[in-house]
Homo-oligomer: A and B are copies of this chain.
Amino acid sequence: MRTSIATVSLSGSLTEKLTAASRAGFDGVEIFENDLLASRLAPEEVRERCADLGLSIDLYQPMRDIEGVPEEEFGRNLRRARHKFEVMRRLGAGTVLVCSSVHPLAVDDDDLAARQLSRLADMAQEFGVRVAYEALAWGRHVSTYDHAWQIVERADHPALGTCLDSFHILSRASDPKGIEDIPGEKIFFLQLADAPLLAMDVLQWSRHYRCFPGQGGFDVAGLVGHVLRAGYDGPLSLEVFNDVFRQAEAGPTAVDAHRSLLVLQEALGLADLPGAVVPTGVAFAELVTPDAEPVSEVLGALGFARTARHRSKPVDLWQQGEARVLVNTGPAARREGTGLAAIGLESPDPAGAARRAEALLAPVLPRRRAADDVPLDAVAAPDGTELFFCATGWPELPDWRGDFEDLRHTATDSGVMRVDHLALVQPWHHFDEAALFHRSVLGLSAQESVDVADPYGLLRSRAVTNADGSVRIALSVGAAPSDDTVHAQHIALATDDVVAAARRFLAAGGRLLPIPANYYDDLAARFEFTDGELETYRELGILYDRDAHGEFRHCYTRTVGRVFFELVQRDGGHRGYGAQNAPVRLAAQHLTGG
């Protein structure tokens, strides 16, 4: 289906918005009136610009407080409308959105509303314009889609139809099934938005918290299904008012927006995308660093051995059990300090995984390959992390380790078995997109979002995982756009005995994050422990949590650059990440400077 986006959903000047929409692959736009008013381009120039960009102008919006008002007021409204229809003619916009009235003088009289809308449609027809009448969820007398449709039906005018907006319908918990009773050709437009399920004033909810389909709690796809069964064949158009998107760069927001519509169409069987290939494990985590020494020291103390070296690049492979860490001192590394730059994901079909990622607008990474390097598919996640699709040790698929030369070093067995999870800091403006990306592109499941108190602001954190927990990625975002929350980026290593692993690490010269004694007094109040258990945790700095699924014990190394390591012992199927302990960990990191 054709896709469209309202200019109000993107930041910047009108021309920036149009360019971003076009580049992200949208077919059309809704022009939000204020964006036109603030633009230097005359309506004719906007029309040309859109044509150059391959965008149709699917809707001009909005007209407000038109109907159900006293005749004198309505006369002024018609005068205003004539000016707007003239602007639409210059723009080449064929449909105008009319929102149900919130005017203080509006009366509850469907017949009057229908007659006035009909007169408006008469005038619109002279300009070749269609009027799409929509019920605002907070409309004074008309606030449900079926009521708006009754008025349109009563007016029975060829230039008057209805506009459906998923937010206005689903925020009121209206049953969307009745949409199927509306003749498809009378549904002039369909606006889509999702939203988190919040108990708040619906106007504020609508104006500040809408999000793209799949990022909130509404069944937007279900609603679209009803609209399609009614016979609607217009565009799927996103109208999203969101305080965060207002500040974000238009380009990435438009890409996230278009991805949400691709996923929506796939859910409805309308888009033929390459199927999701769910990753089955973590092949490696890649650190970039200008100086391999500090990272190597920590890895060495953790029992890792430098087992191989890339044949053509300054990249070392450190390994213990199935946990692999690449340490890259290449040119990119020297610019940015020590950080987690890439993740290798085990995939049963690396090429298929990359095809799906590309179809869902993930940038495919150009590979700086030497002639005989193993082919390796990679894309960029929204936060810039490089995702490599790997098939480590699978017969008949290329193995990325083929590019590495074995150094014949052997790891000390210090109990690290594999990567438990990776924690990535997300750009503030794209936190919701990150979860949608990992869900739709990689086929992972998103867990609930949790708030974590840092001494200097609230963080939000959300994990995405595969079914058996062999891939877990914890996404977190700081309290404000300016917040770098560097401490959240880390590599958690799974062990079946965190006490032994911590002791070995300390014996090998490693340094763990010190945890305050008060934390252990609180643990003693909350849980009963076997003799000596709590004392051991206190001595080593091990944190503890327990839920219905089992126990979680963990400790942290000191931070190197922007990265630290965690040792994690999960028992009995515990599915958490120690969120309960995160405030203590964050405070400790602030106190020690990492």
CB of A519 within 8 Å of the partner chain: yes
Q: Which of A11, A201, A587 has the most CB of B within 10 A?
A: A587
A21-37 Cβ-contact flags toward B at 8 Å (1 or 0): 00000000000011011
Given contacts A481-B480, A482-B482, contact A83 B524 (CB under 8 A): yes
Q: A38 vs B585: C-alpha distance in the bound complex, in angstroms? A: 8
Do A456 and B11 have beta carbons less than 8 Å apart?
yes
A410 contacts B by Cβ under 8 Å = no
- Pick the interface stretch among A39-47, A290-298, A490-498: A39-47
Complex: A201 Cα to B204 Cα, angstroms: 13
Query: A199 contacts the other chain (Cβ, under 8 Å)?
Result: yes
A87 to B34, CA, bound (A): 59
In angstroms, how far is the closest chain B Cβ from the Cβ of A567?
Answer: 21
Q: Per a CB cutoff under 8 Å, which of B518, B525, B588 touches A80?
A: B525
A517 interface residue, CB < 8 Å from B? yes
B583 engages A38 (CB within 8 Å):
yes
Interface size of A as a range = 35 or more
Q: In angstroms, how far is the closest chain B Cβ from the Cβ of A538?
A: 13
Report the minimum CB–CB distance from A473 to chain B (whole Å). 25
B residues less than 8 Å from A396 (CB atoms): none
Closest B residue by C-beta to A246? B457
Q: Pick the contact of A43 from B201, B204, B518 — CB < 8 Å? A: B518
Contact B42 A11 (CB under 8 A): no
- Give the Cβ gap from A456 to chain B, nearest Cβ, in Å: 5
Q: Which residues of B contact A84 (CB under 8 A)?
A: 525
Expressed in whole angstroms, the Cα–Cα distance for A518 and B34 within the complex equals: 10
Whether A522 contacts B37 by the Cβ 8 Å rule is: yes
How many Å from the CB of A64 to the closest CB on chain B? 12
A453 close to B34 (CB less than 8 A): yes
Interchain CB contact under 8 A, B12 and A247: no
Q: A12-B456, A457-B243, A482-B481 given as contacts; is B587 within 8 A of A38 (CB)? A: yes
Q: Is B38's CB under 8 angstroms from A516's CB?
A: yes
Min Cβ gap A78→B in Å is 11
Contact yes or no, B36 A518, CB < 8 A: yes
Any chain B CB within 8 A of the CB of A268?
Answer: no
Give every chain B residue within 8 A of A80 (Cβ-Cβ). 525-526
CB of A518 within 8 A of CB of B200, answer no
**In the docked arrangement, what's the CA distance between A199 and B201, Å?**
5
Assess whether A37 is in contact with B198, with CB atoms less than 8 Å apart. no
Encode contact with B along A522-550: 1 for CB under 8 Å, 0 otherwise: 10111000000000000000000000000
Residue of B nearest to A245 (CB): B457
Closest chain-B Cβ to A451's Cβ sits at a distance in Å of 8
Does any Cβ of B come within 8 Å of A181's Cβ? no
Partner of A247, one of B13, B33, B198, B457: B457
Are A11's CB and B247's CB within 8 A?
no
Q: How far is the CB of A302 from chain B (nearest CB, A)?
A: 26
Check: A371 CB closer than 8 A to any chain B CB.
Answer: no
- What per-residue 1/0 map shows which CB atoms of A213-257 lie under 8 Å from chain B? 000000000000000000000000000000100110000000000
CA distance A453 to B247 in the complex (A): 11
A 83-113 binary contact with B (CB < 8 Å = 1; else 0)? 1100100000000000000000000000000
Interface residue A503 (Cβ < 8 Å from any Cβ of B): no
Determine the chain B residues whose CB is within 8 A of the CB of A243 once the complex forms: 457-458, 479
Nearest Cβ distance between residue A15 and chain B, in whole angstroms? 10
| A334 interface residue (CB < 8 Å to B) | no
Instruction: Encode contact with B along A551-594: 1 for CB under 8 Å, 0 otherwise.
Output: 00000000000000000000000000000000110011011000
- Give Cα A448–Cα B427 distance, bound, in whole angstroms: 33
With known contacts A13-B591, A80-B526, A246–B458 Cβ distance under 8 A = yes
Q: Which residues of B contact A36 (CB under 8 A)?
A: 518
Contact A479 B519 (CB under 8 A): no
CA distance A26 to B426 in the complex (A): 38
Residues of B within 8 A of A479 (CB): 243, 246-247
A455 contact from B12, B516, B517, Cβ within 8 A: B12
Q: Say whether B583 contacts A455, CB under 8 Å.
A: no
* A87 and B521 form a contact (CB under 8 A): yes
Whether the Cβ atoms of B456 and A591 lie closer than 8 Å is no
CB distance from A200 to the nearest CB of B (A): 4
Q: By the criterion CB–CB under 8 Å, are B481 and A83 in contact?
A: no
Contacts of A201 in B (CB 8 A): 198-200
Which residues on B sit within 8 Å (CB–CB) of A516?
37-40
A201, A456, A584, A591 pick with most chain B CB within 10 angstroms: A456
Cα–Cα, bound, A39→B34 (Å): 51
With both beta carbons as reference points, the residue of chain B lying nearest to A33 in the complex is identified as B522
Minimum C-beta distance from A183 to chain B (A): 32
**In the complex, chain B residues whose CB is within 8 Å of the CB of A43:** 518
Query: A87-B521, A201-B200 known; A455 and B13 CB under 8 Å?
Result: yes
Q: Name A residues whose Cβ lies closer than 8 Å to a Cβ of B.
A: 11-13, 33-34, 36-40, 42-43, 79-80, 83-84, 87, 198-201, 204, 243, 246-247, 453, 455-458, 479-483, 516-519, 521-522, 524-526, 583-584, 587-588, 590-591
Known: A37-B522, A247-B479, A247-B480. 4 other contacts (CB 8 A): A11-B457, A38-B583, A83-B521, A83-B525
Can you spell out 6 A-B residue pairs with CB atoms less than 8 angstroms apart? A13-B590, A37-B518, A38-B519, A39-B516, A39-B587, A246-B479
